[in-house]
Structure formats: structure tokens, C-alpha cells
Amino acid sequence: MKLGIISDTHANTMDEMPSNIKKALVNVDLIVHAGDFTQKRVLDDLRALGEVKAVRGNMDSSELREMLPEKELFEVNGKKIGLIHGWGAPWGITERVKGKFNEADIIIFGHSHQSCNQYFQKILLFNPGQARNSFGLITIDDEINARILASSE
């Protein structure tokens, strides 16, 4: 199963995002957004492309904060995925988000605008970075294959 991962879009619509993100998201099985849409229209635009898992971020509208959870744990092909936006300063964010999920194989987060694709004690910590700069693709089959791509045109 192929997941398209974005975060920190900080936009009014997906039309404000680089076109290669939208092209990539059309070809995934699940779109995952780690918060800071800013406006609900971005969520609506993503749902028009496919199935979406999402959490709220600190910059999201009150409407989105009411609609979306702070964190979510879901399963894909037998792998448990924790999804959270994150909070606080960029340094130490991986330790903070890791502490929110006891049994995750992958933790997807945002907030810092800094991409991260690293394992820590057999847990993949994955931050796609700010969507205007980068996004991620994770394929989960027998193994987990994760990569971060530039959002340039």
C-alpha cells in the first residue's frame, strides 16, 4: 500500500501547492496529512483526490480543530501508524512525538517544517517537511520503504 504524506500546507486551497504534490497524491492509496492545513478547503481538496487520514495542527482554523483529532493510531498492512502534528520547538520534537505512541511502527508528524526519515529503536520517525518544500511517500508491503521528495515544480 502506498501512502502520500504531507504536512504544514499553510494554504487556503491545494491550488497553492506545487503541482507535483497533487500529481503524486492522485497515485497513492491513502493521503496522510500531519496538520496545519490552515483552512478546511485544503482538507476538502485532498478528499477529492482520495481517502485521507488527518490530524489538526496548531495553526488550523477552529472548524478544523473541531473536526480533526489531535492524534490518531491506525493500521496499514499490519503496521501501526501514529499520526500527530507536534508542538514546541523543533529540537527534541522526535522524542516528544515518540512519547505519544506506545506501540507504533511508524510515527508521522509535522510542525517543525524540517523533514525527518529515520529509525529510532525500530520505529520509523517520519516528517515530510513543509509541503511547499517537500512531501513524502511511504510504501508498506513486506517492508517499509519511505522517502522524502522535493516539492519543486
CATH of the domain at 35: 3.60.21.10
Determine the distance from the C-alpha atom of residue 109 to the mean position of all C-alpha atoms in its chain, rounded to a whole number: 6
Q: Could you read off the pLDDT of 72-81 as tens digits, one per residue?
A: 999 999 999 9
Mean per-residue pLDDT, 24-52: 96
Q: Is 50 left (phi over 0), alpha (psi -120 to 50) or beta?
A: left
List own/partner pairs for 62-66 with CB under 8 A and 24 or more apart. Answer: 64/37, 64/39, 64/40
Whether 17 and 151 have beta carbons less than 8 Å apart is answered as yes
Q: Give residue 135's identity as a one-letter amino acid code.
A: F
Q: Total structural domains in the chain?
A: 1
pLDDT greater than 80 at residue 153: no
Residue range(s) defining the domain that contains residue 9: 2-150
Residue 137 pLDDT = 98
pTM for the model: 0.96
Residue 121 pLDDT = 87
Cα separation, 29 vs 59, in Å, equals: 27
pLDDT over 70 percentage in the chain: 99
